[in-house]
């Protein structure tokens, strides 16, 4: 018999602005669940998560939270108002039984001291503080809305490992495919206000979704009902593009093979044939570039040759110097030493991460055209603005919508539309996947595959780099940068591990570190009598606590109990919380003793 859910939403309905956003949505979170919530931008994923967290009222339906169950919610934009330090913000989210010292240690693991002013945090720092508050109390249910946004790769890898080791039930919203693939075992798809469940992780989702849509369309045709063209294009276009992208994937493998011919097995760039390249094929050539600020070396003896059509991914921890390296390659910065040569007729378009250049008061149409026109010129072709916006999943009526009313994902799409509208043969993208939903990522990957020029992209998205890059340039530390042919996974296979953190960042590698030989103590240690007794008796105690917890959960699952005996209901809820705490402490104590016993005996 399956255990009762810790959290359940049933038939939730919500109308915003006169339009139904949620129309009978369901969500069930069992103990230990690993669940991702997916859907297009604007489908209501964040709204449904806020309802699940108890932060938003809904029109109709039911929300059930198991009495005694603890829940923590990570919002996309945490509210730091009223807190003097980051430690104050974190400790305000702790329960009476939580350890403030452990919360401080978690802050330190994430490269923070706890004394930072929340109003002066960068996007990545604010995300780490909010994550600490969510993780510090080790809740029964953890609801995370875009937890990887603004994090660098080492922190993402650290977070992935941390979440994998938690006993908490997880509900995740994320655009990071690899993150979802590695962590989830169940998928809930929110589509047109309703939810559909897949009893498998995100790895199986896209193929399952395509089958669901194909079956739905088959049934619609069988019933001889018309499909509205706009809705059909928005919902079914991605599936068709994915099938066409099989040919593009084959072409990407060919491009990687060509790139591999120019890069040695150890990532050293071959520069001998520089003068022999045909005119126009060379985009950028760098020879022994060096750049430092004071005593800190950012780039040291870096050489590469970027040819027309190459797709270069740049990865590294925050602070490693990715922006500096891009500035050197594009000519925005002058090197302290070395030589940089750019090809003739280079026309560059850039996509900055901050999106500060978007005027919130201007409409989408004016943001693209500069104002005063209904048309835009793309590759020499004059196109109506609504048609061009449609390519980026905007509806025609959104053309005159102010930028301020767009979601984060919609602003990301607008930035892409503007960058790609500019005539260019070199495209420089800084974290282009931030805030984009999965369908927009499909669209972006298709557009980049069709882009005839050269691409330099800074990204922390492993799956995106695997789908786009022909080579990856990674920081090896101390100003050393090395290039590996292929995507992120190819780089890990050649290097033996992935992106490592700087000393102030969470320490994490893609592969397990090699065991280090330990120095043997002079005298063989032994377990004390109390430790041996605890090791022998704790398993029975843990089993008894698990049985008690199960009994209390069954008792509290009875909807009639509260009405018939409120005191018994309250006492059972309090005892359940205490039993869960005792069980967690007993399990941790037994694990510590078992590890110590194994070290002594082996």
DSSP of 123-142: HHHHHHHHHHHHHHT--SEE
* Residue 94 within a domain: yes
319 annotated as ligand-binding: yes
The reply, when asked if residue 316 is annotated as ligand binding, is: yes
Is 320 annotated as a binding-site member? yes
Contact 180/461 with Cβ under 8 angstroms? no
The reply to whether 594 and 485 lie within a common domain is no
Which residue in 469, 449, 438, 35 sits closest to 239, CA to CA?
438
Q: What is the pTM of this model?
A: 0.72
pLDDT at 97: 83
Contacts of 464 (CB under 8 A, 6+ apart): 177, 433, 441, 445
Judge whether 44 is annotated as a binding position: yes
Q: What confidence score (pLDDT) does residue 461 get? A: 92
User: What are the respective helix, strand and coil percentages of the chain, to the nearest 5?
Assistant: 45, 20, 35
User: Which tokens sit at 126?
Assistant: 């604010």
Domain that residue 194 falls in: 1-69+140-204
> What are the structure tokens assigned to 534, written together?
């605890």
Listing DSSP states for 273-288 in one string gives TGGGSPTTTEEEEEEE
State the CB neighbour count (10 A cutoff) for residue 243: 9
Q: Report the pLDDT value the prediction gives residue 314, as an integer from 0 to 100.
A: 95
The partner residues of 481 in beta bridges, in order of sequence, read 475
pLDDT at position 368 is 85
- For residues 46 and 159, give the distance between their C-alpha atoms in angstroms, rounded to a whole number: 20
Mean pLDDT for the chain overall: 82
- Same domain, residue pair 286 and 375: yes
The whole-angstrom separation of Cα 506 and Cα 154 is: 7
CATH number at residue 178: 3.40.50.300
**453 and 371 belong to one structural domain:** yes
Query: Coil, strand or helix: which one is 79?
Result: coil
The pLDDT value recorded for residue 259 is 79
Asked, for residue 249, whether it belongs to a domain, the answer is no
pLDDT tens figures, 126-175: 999 999 999 998 899 999 999 998 888 999 999 999 999 999 999 999 98
- How far is the C-alpha of 240 from the C-alpha of 232, rounded, in Å? 11
The pLDDT assigned to 290 comes to: 95
479 is in an annotated binding site: no
**Claim to verify: residue 287 and residue 301 sit in the same structural domain:** yes
Where the chain has pLDDT below 50, the residues are 225-227, 229-230, 233-234, 266-279, 504-524
217 lies in a domain?
no
| One domain, residues 133 and 273 | no
Q: Is 322 assigned to a binding site?
A: yes
Q: What is the DSSP letter of 381?
A: E
- How many structural domains comprise the chain? 4
Determine whether the annotation assigns residue 126 to a binding site.
no
Q: What beta strand segments (E) does 256-387 contain? A: 282-293, 296-307, 311-315, 337-342, 348-351, 375-378, 381-384
318 is in an annotated binding site: yes
**Residue 86 domain-assigned?**
yes
192: which residues sit within 8 A by CB, 6+ positions away? 23, 43
pLDDT at 260: 78
């Amino acid at each position: 018999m399956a255990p009762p859910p810790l959290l359940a939403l049933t038939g939730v309905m919500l109308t915003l602005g006169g339009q139904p956003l949620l129309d009978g949505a369901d969500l069930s979170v069992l103990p230990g669940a690993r669940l991702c919530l997916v859907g297009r931008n604007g489908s209501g994923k964040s709204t449904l998560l806020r309802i699940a967290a108890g932060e938003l009222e809904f029109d109709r339906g039911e929300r059930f939270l198991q009495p005694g169950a603890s829940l923590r919610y990570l919002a996309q934009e945490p509210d730091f108002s009223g807190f003097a330090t980051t430690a104050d913000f974190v400790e305000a989210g702790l329960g009476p039984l939580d350890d403030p010292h452990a919360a401080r240690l978690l802050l330190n693991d994430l490269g923070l001291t706890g004394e930072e002013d929340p109003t002066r945090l960068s996007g990545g720092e604010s995300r780490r503080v909010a994550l600490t508050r969510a993780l510090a109390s080790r809740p029964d249910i953890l609801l995370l809305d875009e937890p990887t946004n603004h994090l660098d790769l080492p922190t993402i890898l650290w977070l992935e490992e941390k979440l994998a080791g938690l006993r908490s039930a997880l509900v995740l919203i994320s655009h990071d495919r690899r993150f979802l693939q590695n962590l989830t075992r169940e998928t809930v798809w929110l589509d047109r206000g309703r939810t559909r469940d897949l009893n498998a992780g995100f790895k199986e989702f896209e193929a399952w979704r395509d089958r669901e849509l194909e079956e739905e369309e088959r049934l619609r045709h069988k019933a001889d009902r018309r499909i509205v063209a706009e809705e059909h294009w928005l919902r079914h276009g991605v599936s068709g593009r994915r099938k066409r992208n099989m040919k593009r994937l084959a072409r990407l493998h060919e491009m990687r093979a060509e790139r591999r011919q120019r890069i040695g097995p150890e990532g050293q760039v071959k520069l001998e044939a520089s003068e022999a390249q045909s005119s126009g094929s060379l985009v950028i050539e760098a020879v022994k570039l060096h750049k430092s600020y004071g005593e800190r070396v950012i780039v040291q003896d870096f050489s590469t040759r970027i040819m027309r059509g190459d797709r270069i991914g740049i990865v590294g921890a925050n602070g490693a110097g990715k922006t500096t390296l891009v500035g050197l390659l594009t000519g925005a910065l002058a090197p302290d030493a070395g030589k940089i040569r750019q090809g003739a007729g280079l026309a560059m378009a850039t996509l900055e991460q901050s999106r500060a250049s978007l005027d919130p008061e201007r409409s989408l149409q004016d943001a693209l055209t500069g104002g005063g026109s209904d048309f835009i010129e793309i590759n020499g072709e004059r196109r109506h603005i609504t048609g061009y916006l449609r390519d980026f999943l905007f509806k025609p009526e959104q053309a005159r919508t102010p930028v301020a009313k767009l979601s984060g994902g919609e602003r990301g799409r607008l930035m892409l539309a503007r960058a790609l509208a500019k005539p260019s043969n070199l495209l420089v993208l800084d974290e282009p996947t931030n805030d984009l939903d999965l369908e927009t990522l499909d669209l972006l990957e298709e557009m980049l595959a069709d882009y005839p020029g050269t691409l330099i992209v800074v990204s922390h998205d492993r799956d995106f780099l695997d789908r786009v890059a022909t080579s990856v340039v990674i920081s090896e530390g101390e100003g050393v940068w090395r290039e590996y042919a292929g995507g992120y996974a190819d780089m890990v296979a050649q290097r033996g591990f992935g992106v490592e953190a700087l000393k102030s960042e969470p320490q994490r590698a893609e592969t397990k570190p090699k065991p280090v030989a330990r120095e043997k103590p002079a005298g063989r240690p032994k377990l004390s009598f109390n430790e041996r007794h605890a090791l022998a008796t704790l398993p029975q105690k843990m089993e008894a606590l698990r049985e008690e917890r199960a009994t209390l959960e069954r008792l509290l699952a009875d909807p009639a109990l509260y009405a018939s005996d409120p005191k018994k209901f309250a006492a059972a809820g309090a005892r359940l919380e205490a039993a869960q705490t005792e069980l967690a402490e007993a399990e941790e104590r037994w694990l510590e003793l078992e590890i110590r016993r194994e070290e002594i005996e082996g």
